[in-house]
Amino acid sequence: MLQPFISQYKAQQLGTYQTDEPLASYTTWKIGGSADLLIEPLGKEQLALTVKLLHEHQIPWMTIGRGSNLLVADTGFRGAVILLGTELDYVHFEESIVRAGGRYSLIKLSIMAGKKGLTGLEFAGGIPGTVGGAVYMNAGALGSDVSRIFESAEIVLETGELVRYSKEDMQFAYRHSVLHDVKGIVLEATFRLECGDRNQIATTMSANKEHRLRTQPLQTACAGSVFRNPSGDYAARLIQEAGLKGYRIGGAEVSTQHANFIVNTGQATASDVLTLIERIQQTIRDRFGVALVPEVLLVGER
């Protein structure tokens, strides 16, 4: 199934590729089996052609940015994994309008905006993903999210068609966008920020960073918050109240710093993490009658 696609991909010089590539090193959890094919198209046009070819050959595919918020199954992924090329790692500022490529770091974007005296991205200073992933998930923290500043996005759909979606088109909700239902890849996102005081922005971001370092296990292999916050409450509070901080299955452990983080203590498998997630869900359901919904995305078959 893959060889005809690979032959065309090579013939059209669309980018680089590797077969049977382990995905653990591409995720912040450092967990996961191999992908049948790992491809990195050279740029926007090559990416659109690549997606079109994958669609024509009926090859399942997914995208990995910086690999946060992602759990790859121990069995890996049967199909193609797309890495965004360096051509999509850019940012342009035009007064209060910011255009950033899908591969650009969200943390770096928030820092750059702050240095230019633009406010609105302070919440993103601790979200270790790409602009594309942040738009896909409507990433948020500290009471704000991407939808608050979003203007539009250039997207390639699974047919290879290039479209531009407005804020209304994106159908943003809590940790959700239309891209959960309509398959596509964010090539570029445009945000509208506001002019602010550089010193105040720097102070806010510094305080946020100190708080994260104090309360989150950022020096360990993890994937950020595991569960969405239930309405009117916090997943971390419920998990801590249930006495699950430090609870461990295999190499996966509920962080002792932040109960809504699961850390890889060294040799965790995806199965360890999934079993721990289910144990937490069952405990919280039994104890509080609350159904915790995972925020992390599972890739591949369990």
- For the chain, the domains span 2-86, 89-200, 217-299
| Nearest to 67, CA basis, from 31, 99, 20, 38 | 31
- DSSP letters for 145-173: EGGGTEEEEEEEETTS-EEEEEHHHHT-B
Q: What is the pLDDT of residue 219?
A: 86
Q: What is the pLDDT of residue 212?
A: 85
Second-level CATH architecture of 217-299? Alpha-Beta Complex (3.90)
Q: What is the pLDDT of residue 23?
A: 96
Copy the structure tokens of residue 231: 């309405």
Residue entry with tokens 């009926």:
58
Q: Which residues contact 6 (CB under 8 A, 6 or more apart)?
A: 17, 19, 37
Q: What is the pLDDT of residue 211?
A: 84
The sign of the torsion formed by the CA atoms of 221, 222, 223, 224 equals negative
Give the integer Cα–Cα distance in Å for 69 and 133: 9
Q: How many CA atoms lie within 13 A of 33 on its CB side?
A: 16
Give the integer Cα–Cα distance in Å for 302 and 134: 25
One-letter amino acid at 90 equals: Y
| Nearest to 122, CA basis, from 42, 203, 50, 177 | 203
What is the model's pTM? 0.91
| Helix (DSSP H) and strand (DSSP E) numbers for the chain | 8, 18
What is the full per-residue pLDDT of the chain (302 aa) written as tens digits?
799 999 999 999 999 999 999 999 999 999 999 999 999 999 999 999 999 999 999 999 999 988 888 999 999 999 999 999 899 999 999 999 999 999 999 999 999 999 999 999 999 988 888 999 999 999 998 889 999 999 999 999 999 999 999 999 999 999 999 999 999 999 999 999 999 999 999 999 998 888 888 889 988 999 989 999 999 999 999 999 999 999 999 999 999 999 999 999 999 999 999 999 999 999 999 999 999 999 999 998 87
**Cα-to-chain-centroid distance, residue 278:** 21
Q: What is the pLDDT of residue 4?
A: 95
Give the integer Cα–Cα distance in Å for 289 and 208: 32
Give the integer Cα–Cα distance in Å for 87 and 143: 32
List residues bridging with 73 in a β-sheet: none
Q: Which residues contact 62 (CB under 8 A, 6 or more apart)?
A: 77, 79, 80, 81, 82, 299
Counting residues of the chain whose pLDDT is more than 70, the rounded percentage is 100
- pLDDT tens, position by position, 193-204: 999 999 999 999
Average pLDDT, the chain: 95
Q: 146 and 135 in contact (C-beta within 8 Å)? A: yes
- Dihedral angle over CA of 68, 71, 74, 78, nearest 10: -90
Q: What is the pLDDT of residue 243?
A: 98
Q: Which residues are catalytic?
A: 175, 225, 295
Q: 231 and 288 in contact (C-beta within 8 Å)? A: no
CATH 3.30.465.10 fits 89-200, yes or no: yes
Residue entry with tokens 């295999």:
250
CATH number of 2-86: 3.30.43.10
